[in-house]
Amino acid sequence: AVAGSTSNANAMADGMFPMLIVMAMGMVGFLALPMAIVEEREKGTLNAIFLTPIKTSEFITGKSLFSLLLSLTTIVVMLSVNRKWSDNSGYLLLIIFSGSLMTIFTGLIIANFAKTQAAVNAIGTTIFLFFQMVPSLQHSSDIVRSAAPFVPSTYIFSGLRKAMFLDLSKVTINDDILIVVTLTAVAYMIAHGVYRFKQADK
């Protein structure tokens, strides 16, 4: 009975790790990054940046780099401390990298439309809750299960779980990776378009 309880506890702890990784991505991308950008706007430094000949891609890279490093460092430390690396670490890192960029590019879009820190909190928290809860609760009800395919984090969560715990010779992870990478590229293009328009407007 004790062995069974321990096994169940370990399985539950393992099941939480993809959720924790998704949470770390969302916290940095949807909240921390846009909050920092809006703070710069309130201080006037953001407008000053747009008055320089900086390229849109350079602006996005500059704003994304620290957040990406923060997200990756947090997740890598979590995995290392808890010894959750597996033989599929290459796939795992690819999903973590792409998923982190997806949330960061989305955060840049949020920052463009949210004019105050309160607005960032409202918009970012709402998106974060859907991003976090839908993949975690997709098997809890038919409604959530029906919504899950339309929420990008579902594929991040699925890819993480497969890379961490499953035998990839028996399950396919390529579909999850392709969807995550594609959605990340779409998020970048939207962010690029939004900030290019903002620069042109100056």
**pLDDT recorded at residue 10:** 55
What is the chain's pLDDT, residue by residue, as a tens digit (202 residues)?
Answer: 444 444 454 555 567 889 999 999 999 999 999 999 999 988 888 888 877 888 989 999 999 999 999 999 999 999 999 888 888 999 999 999 999 999 999 999 999 999 899 999 999 999 999 999 999 888 888 898 999 999 999 999 999 999 999 999 999 999 999 999 999 999 999 999 998 887 655 5
Q: Is 44 left (phi over 0), alpha (psi -120 to 50) or beta?
A: left
**pLDDT recorded at residue 86:** 84
- Nearest Cα neighbor of 25 from 83, 82, 95 is 95
**pLDDT recorded at residue 2:** 43
Q: Give burial (CB, 10 Å; 0-12/13-18/19+) of 156.
A: buried
**pLDDT recorded at residue 140:** 84
Q: At 93, phi and psi to the nearest 5?
A: -65, -35
Q: What's the one-letter identity of residue 182? A: T
Q: Is the pTM of this model over 0.85?
A: yes
Which H helix or E strand runs over 89?
Answer: helix 89-113
